[in-house]
Amino acid sequence: MPTLLVHIHTGPENPTKAALGLLVALTAVKEGYDITLFLAGDAVHLLSADHADATGQGTGRVGDHIDALKEAGAPMILSGMSAKARGYDDGLLEGANATFGMPTKLLELTTKAGKVLCY
């Protein structure tokens, strides 16, 4: 199966689109795809417990998807610049297979992935 990069840049202000990206990432994990999730812009909020109750219309609850992705050990890269600009520190990464990355990491992942999905 091809590797997938799921790039989410939509935050909890649009819970349907944000939750859809997470749902697709989770579905890919369950189907056996090798995925990496890259959260940038307002999407870094999605890893915060403060936004776990954001629920998309027909796409589920953000917190449920994040918890399942954490449990599956799905690799997550969060834009370090986006997180810092929104007041987050390393505490945001706790409990997740997650690190901060810069735009160079997004470019690297994009060129290596078989497919890139953006939300």
- Domains in the chain, start-ordered, CATH in brackets? 3-118 (3.40.1260.10)
Q: pTM for this one?
A: 0.95
pLDDT at 83 over 90: yes
pLDDT tens-place string over residues 92-115: 999 999 999 999 999 999 999 999
- Greatest Cα pair distance, the chain, in angstroms, is 37
Q: HSE (CB half, 13 Å, CA atoms) of 57? A: 2
> Under a CB-based contact definition with an 8 Å cutoff, are residues 44 and 83 in contact?
yes
Rounded Cα gap, residues 4 and 21, in angstroms: 12
Rounded Cα gap, residues 59 and 20, in angstroms: 5
Rounded Cα gap, residues 28 and 33, in angstroms: 5
pLDDT at 1 over 90: no
Rounded Cα gap, residues 12 and 17, in angstroms: 9
pLDDT at 8 over 90: yes
Across 10-34, average pLDDT: 98
DSSP 37-62: EEE-GGGGGGGSGGGTT-EETTTEEH
